[in-house]
Structure 1
Amino acid sequence: MIGGIQNVSALSFTRAMEGASETGSSSSILQMPLTGQMQGVAPASGDFGATLASMATDMVGSLRGAEQASLDGINGQADMREVVDAVMTAEQTLQTAIAIRDKIVTAYLEVSRMQI
């Protein structure tokens, strides 16, 4: 059940990143060196797209774990507390993903309304 969602989201993400790299302006901004970094803060490794992909992978893993725990609970192979913990963790992860998605959509709509 989760696998189909992951495949669709990965395809959409890949297409979006291909469009961004074709414009040239996005990729040049990402490749610019950071100046004036704060002391005591480690420089960011990777790019924003890789971070989002990693977060999506972790989210899908959490949802799969909760799904498996609930199936184990139905079969009597898992304790009720383990099932509840897994489902609550997956719910929190899903709520976080929804909040991030909403912020991204809001930011996109705000940028699209700007006058050039």
Structure 2
Amino acid sequence: MISSPTIAATSAATAYDRARHAVAPAAGLPQGVTNAATDFARVMERVDLAATGAMTGKTETHDLVHSIAQAEIALETVVAIRDKVVEAYQEILRMPV
């Protein structure tokens, strides 16, 4: 019989795999934005591969830690950019028409 944590992990992995298309860069964006989104998706893909490799014993722990650090920097950058875009949008909303 399969244990409950194993079923939960499989279910989470399946749900994550189905949702991966949501982080793919959208068509019609400026080239710089598309490149940045593609680079971010590539960094996240590497961390996924490193994590999977670490769980299966195919990847060294050092490589996993390094990819997680890169992902953290990439995520902080994306959040900072998002905050600036939201701030600019709110500033535009405050402009008199």
CA distance in 2, matches of 1:81, 1:113: 48
Quick one: percent identity of the two aligned structures? Answer: 28
Q: TM-score, normalised by structure 1?
A: 0.63
**Based on CA coordinates, which of the two structures has the bigger radius of gyration?**
1
> What is the aligned length?
80
Tell which has more relative contact order, 1 or 2 (C-alpha 8 A, sep 6+).
1
Residue number among 33, 40, 64 corresponding to 2:45 in the alignment: 64
SS in 2 for 1:100: helix
Which is richer in helix?
A: 2
* Residue of structure 1 equivalent to 2:82: 101
2:22 counterpart residue number: 5
> Could you list the runs of 4 or more consecutive aligned residues of structure 1 that deviate by over 3 angstroms after TM superposition?
none
Please give the root-mean-square deviation of Cα atoms over the aligned residues, in Å: 1.6
- Gap runs ≥5 in structure 1: 18-48
Report the TM-score when normalising by structure 2. 0.74
Residue 5 of structure 1: how far off its partner (Å): 2.4
